[in-house]
Amino acid sequence: MINLAPYTPTNAGMLSQAAWRVGNNSLSGYLGGKQHGGYFCEQLERIIEEKLKVRHAIVVNSATTGLLAACAVAGCVPGSMVHSTAYTMSGTAAPAGLLGAKFQWNDIEDKTFNMDGVISLKKGDIVIATSIFGHPANLHQLRNQSDLCGAIMIEDAAQSIMAMELGRYAGTVGHMGILSFNVHKHIHGGEGGAVLTNDDGFAYLLREFRNHGELSHGSFGLNLRMTEITAAIISEQFVKVENYVASRRELAEFFNECFKPYSDQVSIPHVRETCTHSYYVYALKFKDRKKITPLLRKHGIPIYDGYVNPLYNLPAFKSRTIVSTKCPVLERVDKELAFIEICGINPIQAQRIQIREVIDEVLGSNQNERKILPVREKDTSEGQGAI
Ligand SMILES: Cc1ncc(COP(=O)(O)O)c(C=O)c1O
């Protein structure tokens, strides 16, 4: 049984250094985010803008609240039509639901698991393009369509920090885009998020929404501010974000090498030619999942069957769903897909050798009817739900 080391972008040294800096910085010494952020919030915003080559980064206390702000300033009101994938975490679409939107769920691509790039839009609609598992959605295509039709495109790049399509980072192609810094992500501050935009008008409205709408004297807002300590912790990591993402890409490459010999049984993650992948999750498709993944799990490989219950099946979304919604590709893919949470594990060399041996035994024996390793009795983890 392999007992895998966890992936930890934060460590005790980093946390105490960040706390010390906040406490000792004469410009701050203040834990809350001021109207437009304290010193460390503003510092983090400048780091993000520089790294992701985007005009404005507005840090907030989660990706979900960032999506709420983006939907609100995009004009989402009761009855607004929102186009999204149903194969995503509920946080992608819940903010629009809260604002009263109706949903048109679009089917997904068989290879990247992202929303299909051709959708039917009209003026005033909102598109939420999620780059799922770390692979960019059809970002440029959706942005072009949105501009042609007078729709607003919001990117949910919570899982895809530093992933690129056509040389631009996920989160920076739409009118607005969001990142997540929750505890599962490539880099994190426990919680946290950012909204990205190249549009000065949206940036102004987002900053107002984050701060009770207090200065705009015209619109409602909430307190979505990030705390200084969170911003300091995330800044420590964001300056080295390329290294964190590179380490996940390297781990994905290791798994690619392990699974490639068994292409008759399993498809490794597809990366479109115009894209780079940031591998939040390493998602595989199996020809006969039920025969393989229970054995991998029994030997300690943390692989989970399926991703999420499509959002149109969740009670909160049902009554808001446009009746014509049908997603046959999604329904099929979810029966074939299994994923390894790349941002949750950090196998050391000896464990990598064990992982490779287990994969060879399980998939090799299925191929050659060889004898497999003795297994533990209990199969622990069927589907772990939304991450
Ligand atoms: C695709 C997606 N969108 C939104 C969220 C919500 O992020 P947060 O927890 O920062 O609100 C997540 C969280 O895992 C996510 O995976």
pLDDT in tens, 30-67: 555 556 678 889 999 999 999 999 999 999 999 999 99
pLDDT at residue number 22: 72
Please, is 217 exposed, middle or buried when counting C-beta atoms within 10 Å of its C-beta (0-12, 13-18, 19+)? exposed
| b (16+ CB within 10 A) / e for 298-316 | bbbbbbbbbbbebbbebee
Per-residue pLDDT for 82 more than 60? yes
Per-residue pLDDT for 25 more than 50? yes
- Ligand 1 centroid distance, CA of 181 (Å): 9
Choose one of 154, 178, 180 to mutate for the ligand 1 pocket test, by most ligand atoms within 8 angstroms of C-beta. Answer: 180
- Ligand 1 centroid distance, CA of 21 (Å): 28
Where in the chain does DSSP place strands (E)? 56-60, 81-85, 102-106, 126-130, 152-156, 164-165, 168-169, 176-180, 193-197, 266-267, 275-276, 282-286, 303-305, 337-340
Count the helices and strands in the chain (H runs, E runs).
Answer: 12, 14
* Confidence tier at 321 by pLDDT (50, 70, 90): confident
Of ligand 1's listed atoms, the one at least distance from the Cα of 64 is: 11
Choose one of 60, 62, 64 to mutate for the ligand 1 pocket test, by most ligand atoms within 8 angstroms of C-beta. Answer: 64
As a whole-number percent, the residues of the chain with pLDDT over 90 amount to 76
Average pLDDT over residues 304-321: 93
Average pLDDT over residues 67-89: 97
pLDDT at residue number 97: 96
pLDDT at residue number 372: 47
* Confidence tier at 387 by pLDDT (50, 70, 90): low
Per-residue pLDDT for 240 more than 80? yes
- Ligand 1 centroid distance, CA of 191 (Å): 10
* Residue 47 CB neighbour total at 10 angstroms: 18
pLDDT in tens, 111-149: 999 999 889 999 999 999 999 999 999 999 999 999 999
As a whole-number percent, the residues of the chain with pLDDT over 70 amount to 90
User: What residues are in contact with ligand 1 under a 6 Å CB criterion?
Assistant: 62-64, 88-89, 91-92, 130, 156, 158-159, 180, 182, 184, 193, 387
User: 342 or 322: which carries more pLDDT confidence?
Assistant: 342
pLDDT in tens, 277-290: 999 999 999 999 99
Give the global pTM: 0.92
Q: Where in the chain is the domain with CATH 3.90.1150.10?
A: 241-368
- Ligand 1 centroid distance, CA of 190 (Å): 12
pLDDT at residue number 124: 97
Residue 204 token pair: 């102004």
On average, the pLDDT of the chain sits at 90
CATH of 241-368, one of 2.90.10.10, 3.40.718.10, 3.40.50.740, 3.90.1150.10: 3.90.1150.10
Considering only 153-157, 234-238, 320-324, 340-344, which range has the smallest mean pLDDT? 320-324
pLDDT in tens, 170-223: 999 999 999 999 999 999 999 999 999 999 999 999 999 998 887 666 788 999
In DSSP terms, 57 is beta-bridged to: 196
pLDDT at residue number 30: 52
Q: Where in the chain is the domain with CATH 3.40.640.10?
A: 12-238
- Ligand 1 centroid distance, CA of 216 (Å): 28
| Cα–Cα separations (whole angstroms), residue 351 to 99, 144, 259, 301, 364 | 47, 46, 16, 10, 19
Choose one of 88, 181, 182 to mutate for the ligand 1 pocket test, by most ligand atoms within 8 angstroms of C-beta. Answer: 182
Q: Which CATH architecture has domain 12-238?
A: 3-Layer(aba) Sandwich (3.40)
**Coil vs helix vs strand at 337:** strand
- Ligand 1 centroid distance, CA of 66 (Å): 10
Minimal-distance CA residue to ligand 1 atom 5: 91
Minimal-distance CA residue to ligand 1 atom 8: 63
* SS3 sequence of 129-147: EECHHHCCCCHHHHHHHHH
Of ligand 1's listed atoms, the one at least distance from the Cα of 67 is: 4
Minimal-distance CA residue to ligand 1 atom 13: 387
| b (16+ CB within 10 A) / e for 167-201 | ebbbbbbbbbbbbbbbebbbbbbebbbbbbbbeee
- Ligand 1 centroid distance, CA of 350 (Å): 33
